[in-house]
Homo-oligomer: A and B are copies of this chain.
Amino acid sequence: MTSRPVVAILTDFGVEDTFVGQMKGVILSQCPNAALIDLTHSVPAQDILAGAFHVGAAWHWLPEGTIHVCVVDPGVGSERRAIAVQAAGHTFLSPDNGLLSALMQRHRVDAAFDISGFVPESAYVSRTFHGRDLFAQVAGRLAAGARLDELGNVIDPDELIRIDLPEPEVSPNSILGEIIMIDHWGNAITNISSTVLGGPDENWAVECGDARTDHLSSSYADAAVGGIVAVVSSMDTVEIAVRDASAASRYDLQRGMPVTLTRLS
């Protein structure tokens, strides 16, 4: 095991343009040995809530010490702060707009820094592309060994902006949640995490619009091809799927639709 630094990048920049490539160039200019991982660049444009969900779901699978560059930044160029957050052994760079909310909801912030005033040595900071001109520059410096207290100012974690994430309503025999994401296969990911479901012997009926199933399964393969199946997904929340097809298309499922779980007797 070497100490090769890992930088993970998550944006709403898409891959049609060279924006992400420019960010990577800046990072490797500072730290040629960094390993770069694209988490996704398909966060819907300026959709902080969707970005927050992706950050919260993915960070855990990166190596300890990973530097996460998270940029969904409708307020770039305004007075919004740029921040660095240390939590759970990782470092997260982000605009201070709630993009780290899902992470911070579950994990204590060990230290937070305002990096808004960082000025790279050999480049200017545009007012339209902080992903490249500020966040990638700071990530490269951190990867090369700089410390955050050299690049920014300590701030109180309680000052960080957090956005409300939809939380399920949990009653003894029912849970009311919602769809928070449709994934690549058309599976509907909900905000109902496994922790509110009770033990493995419990079972639940699941209903969302016309999508209904009378039990939770443990894998997609428990359904026949074309059949509906609800599972606790790899993101550890209830997910509604159709085996070998798109549940979203079949049942016209969309983000925000309510999902009801009813405990089976």
Contact = CB atoms under 8 A, between A and B. Distances in A.
Interface of A: 1-4, 6, 8, 10, 13-26, 28-29, 32-33, 35-42, 45-46, 54, 57-58, 61-64, 66, 74-78, 80, 126-129, 132-133, 181, 183-185, 218-222, 231, 233-234, 239, 243-244, 246
A166 B129 CA distance: 25
Contacts of A17: 40, 42, 54, 181, 183-184
Given A128-B220, A220-B76, A234-B128, A58 B18 contact: yes
A25 B61 contact: yes
Query: Is chain A's binding surface mostly helix, strand, loop or mixed?
Result: loop
A63 B21 contact: no
A78 B184 contact: no
Given A42-B15, A218-B127, A132 B234 contact: yes
A219 B77 contact: yes
B184 A26 contact: no
A144 to B, nearest CB: 8
A24 B37 contact: yes
A60 to B, nearest CB: 8
B25 A4 contact: no
Nearest to A131: B234
Nearest to A20: B38
Given A17-B183, A54-B17, A58-B21, A128 B37 contact: no
